[in-house]
C-alpha cells in the first residue's frame, strides 16, 4: 500500500515545522550571546510550561515517565546541546550531528525491548559514522572534539526520551512535552546556579536585549508549541511513513540558516560529512518504504 500523499496545504505546514526546527539552532546561538547556556535552557522550559500547562490536560502517562522524559530532554539533550553551541561546535554541524539520535534510538530499543536491528540499519549507521569521522578529523577552534562529544551525548539523551515516549503511544505530544517540562526547568536552574554561578546569571539577565528574549520566545512558542502541535496534528492525519521523511530537512535548514545568518563556512569536508550522515539517515528512514513498495509491485509466484 502506498503511503497517503500530503496535500499541498499540509505539505507546506510540514515544511514550515522543519524550517522552524532547523533554524532553531541559529536562534540558540543568538540567544547565547548574552545568556549562559544552562540558564537559557532553563528559561526555555519554564516558558514551555507557563502558561500552556493551564490549558492542556495532563496526558494519561505515569508521573515517572513524564519525569524521565523531562530530565532526558531538558537537562540532557538541550542542556548539553546549548553548552556545545555556546563555544564548542557550530550550529550547522550541531543540527546535523544531533540527528544521530535516530540510530541511538534503534540501539536503545534493541537493548531494552529486544527489537531486531535490520541489515539496512547497520549500513545506514556505518555511513553516518564515517561522516562523523570526517568531522572529527577536521576539528578546529570552531568545531572541537568536546563539542562533537557533547552533541553526541545529547543525541543519546534524545534517544532515551524517544524510548520513554514509545512506551506510551497515542498521547497528545504537545501536552506530553509541556507537562514533562515541569521536570526540565528545576534541574537546569540548579545546574546553572551550581556551574555558571549567580554573577553570570545576573549579568546575563541584565544584558539581555529584545533579540535575546526573542530567542527564548522562539524556543517556546515556535519550536515547542507550534512545532509539536503541528507535527502531532499531521501525524494524526497521515501515516508515519508519509510524515517521518520530512524530518530529514531539519539539518538542511540548520546548515543553510547557519551559513546565511552566521556566515558559517561550508567547506568541502563539511559538505562531504553532511552527505554521508544524510545518506545514512535517508537509508534508515526511506528503505522500509522502498522495500514495501517493491514488495507490493512484485507479482506472486505461480
- 224-236 confidence digits (pLDDT tens): 889 888 887 887 7
How high is the pLDDT of residue 6? Answer: 77
- CA-based max dimension of the chain: 78
Q: Name the percent of the chain in helix, strand, coil, to the closest 5.
A: 80, 0, 20
- 171-187 confidence digits (pLDDT tens): 888 899 899 999 999 99
How high is the pLDDT of residue 1? Answer: 45
- Smallest CA-to-CA distance from 126 within 103, 106, 146 is with 103
How high is the pLDDT of residue 91? Answer: 94
> What's the whole-model pTM score?
0.88
* Angular region, 131: left φ>0, alpha ψ -120 to 50, beta rest: alpha
- 145-154 confidence digits (pLDDT tens): 999 999 999 9
Ranges under pLDDT 50 in the chain = 1, 301-302
- The answer to whether 48 touches 181, Cβ cutoff 8 Å, is yes
Query: How far is it, in rounded angstroms, from Cα 106 to Cα 163?
Result: 9
Amino acid at each position: 500500500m502506498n503511503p497517503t500523499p500530503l496535500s499541498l496545504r499540509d505539505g507546506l505546514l510540514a515544511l514550515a515545522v522543519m524550517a522552524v526546527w532547523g533554524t532553531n539552532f541559529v536562534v540558540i546561538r543568538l540567544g547565547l550571546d548574552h545568556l549562559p547556556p544552562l540558564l537559557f535552557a532553563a528559561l526555555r522550559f519554564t516558558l514551555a510550561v507557563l502558561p500552556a500547562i493551564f490549558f492542556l490536560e495532563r496526558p494519561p502517562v505515569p508521573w515517572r515517565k513524564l519525569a524521565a522524559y523531562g530530565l532526558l530532554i531538558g537537562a540532557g539533550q538541550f542542556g548539553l546541546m546549548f553548552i556545545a553551541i555556546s563555544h564548542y561546535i557550530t550550529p550547522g554541524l550541531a543540527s546535523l550531528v544531533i540527528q544521530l539520535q535516530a540510530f541511538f534510538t534503534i540501539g536503545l530499543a534493541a537493548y531494552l525491548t529486544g527489537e531486531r536491528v535490520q541489515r539496512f540499519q547497520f549500513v545506514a549507521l556505518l555511513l553516518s559514522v564515517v561522516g562523523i569521522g570526517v568531522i572529527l578529523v577536521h576539528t578546529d577552534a570552531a568545531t572541537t572534539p568536546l563539542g562533537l562529544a557533547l552533541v553526541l551525548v545529547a543525541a543519546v539523551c534524545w534517544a532515551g526520551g524517544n524510548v520513554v515516549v514509545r512506551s506510551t503511544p497515542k498521547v497528545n505530544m504537545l501536552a506530553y512535552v509541556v507537562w514533562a517540562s515541569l521536570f526540565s526547568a528545576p534541574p537546569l536552574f540548579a545546574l546553572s546556579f551550581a556551574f555558571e554561578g549567580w554573577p553570570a546569571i545576573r549579568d546575563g539577565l541584565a544584558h539581555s536585549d529584545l533579540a535575546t528574549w526573542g530567542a527564548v520566545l522562539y524556543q517556546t512558542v515556535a519550536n515547542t508549541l507550534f512545532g509539536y502541535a503541528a507535527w502531532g496534528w499531521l501525524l494524526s492525519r497521515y501515516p508515519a511513513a508519509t510524515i517521518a521523511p520530512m524530518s530529514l530537512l531539519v539539518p538542511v535548514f540548520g546548515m543553510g540558516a547557519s551559513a546565511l545568518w552566521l556566515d558559517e563556512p561550508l567547506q568541502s569536508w563539511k559538505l562531504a560529512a553532511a552527505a554521508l550522515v544524510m545518506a545514512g539517515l535517508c537509508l534508515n528512514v526511506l528503505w522500509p518504504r522502498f522495500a514495501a513498495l517493491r514488495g507490493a509491485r512484485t507479482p506472486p509466484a505461480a
